[in-house]
Amino acid sequence: MKILKNEALAPFTTVKIGGPAQTLIITDTTQEFTKALQKTASTDIFILGNGSNILISDQGIPATVIKNNSQNIEYLDSSLIKVDSGVQLPWLINDTVNHSLSGLEEFAYIPSSIGGAIYGNIHGVNKSNFDKFVRKITVFNKKTQTVEELDSQSMSWDYDFSEFKEKPHLIILSALLQLTPGNKNLSQQQVKDIIAKKILSQSMNSLGSTFKNPPGDAAGRIIDQELNLKGYRIGDAQISPKHANFILNLGQATATDYKAVIDHVIQTAKTKLNLTLEPEIIFWGQF
């Protein structure tokens, strides 16, 4: 593993924003990841997956950040797989499709790690939540400093919510996913179609969807049509002219700029519509 001091975190995020970590530990295997967790069990730590839904403050993180790059995928039988939490979701989708397994196609073009997908219980284009495919989760319990296996069905899940958000002492190491045998060619075409549609409006130069969708509506539609904020800009942080639930870094945006745009949307929605828009992204550090 690599241990770095005062290392900039911006390069490890999709939006390229964020100050330094006091200590950055980069691990390449679940064994290294577990060892790093054991060594830091008594301290405050932050786990960085793909950095696709985390806004890191300009001042950075005065603590230890662990970047988990574990990449192992194990095919256990015809449809059950064990996957490390650091595996990138787009890679897993391609790999499972190539093994003629179906289920994850609807999550195409989401720049998440598997740990992040489980933690955030992300949703796909067919409105399925990621927990639909999760059977068991192996975690490191910081309180007991032990490795435990959890049954997914015994845990609480909801739209963009997992129990892990309320239990930060449980760190996801790997998971068992249940998929279904499928047609490789049909799955590949489905993934291509989803990416082709999303790429027209969803920029990777962002943190993904900024706000959760209110029940029965879409945050992007509200921000665009009700609040007329598509294209709104502070510094180099801009609400995407293509999709109003994405905020772009035009080049030199700071976390302060990005957060100011978010706050403006929240305030405008509350003032004009008496609607509380809830951020989908996570904020690290001081704002």
Q: What pLDDT does 42 receive?
A: 79
Residues 174-204 have pLDDT tens digits of: 999 999 999 999 999 999 999 999 998 888 8
Among 11, 173, 187, 194, CA closest to 110: 194
127 against 170, higher pLDDT = 170
Residue 78 reports pLDDT greater than 90: no
219-284: CATH, from 3.40.50.740, 3.90.78.10, 3.40.1390.20, 3.30.465.10? 3.90.78.10
> In the predicted model, what is the mean pLDDT of the chain?
95
- Helix (H/G/I), strand (E/B), else coil: 38: helix
Share of the chain above pLDDT 90, in %: 93
Residue 134 reports pLDDT greater than 90: yes
Farthest CA pair distance, the chain: 54
Q: What pLDDT does 170 receive?
A: 96
- Helix (H/G/I), strand (E/B), else coil: 263: helix
Q: What pLDDT does 44 receive?
A: 85
Sorted by where each begins, the domain ranges of the chain are 2-68, 73-198, 219-284
pTM of the model: 0.91
Q: Using the 8-state DSSP alphabet, how is residue 159 labeled?
A: T
Question: Using H for helix, E for strand and C for coil, what is the string for 81-123?
Answer: EEEECCCEHHHHHHHHHHCCEECCHHHCCCCCEHHHHHHHCCE
The class of domain 2-68 in CATH terms is: alpha beta
Domain 73-198, CATH: 3.30.465.10
Residue 158 reports pLDDT greater than 90: yes
Q: Residues 137, 152: contact at Cβ < 8 Å?
A: yes
List Cα–Cα distances, 203 to 69, 181, 198, in angstroms: 23, 32, 8
d(Cα 204, Cα 132) in Å, to the nearest integer? 25
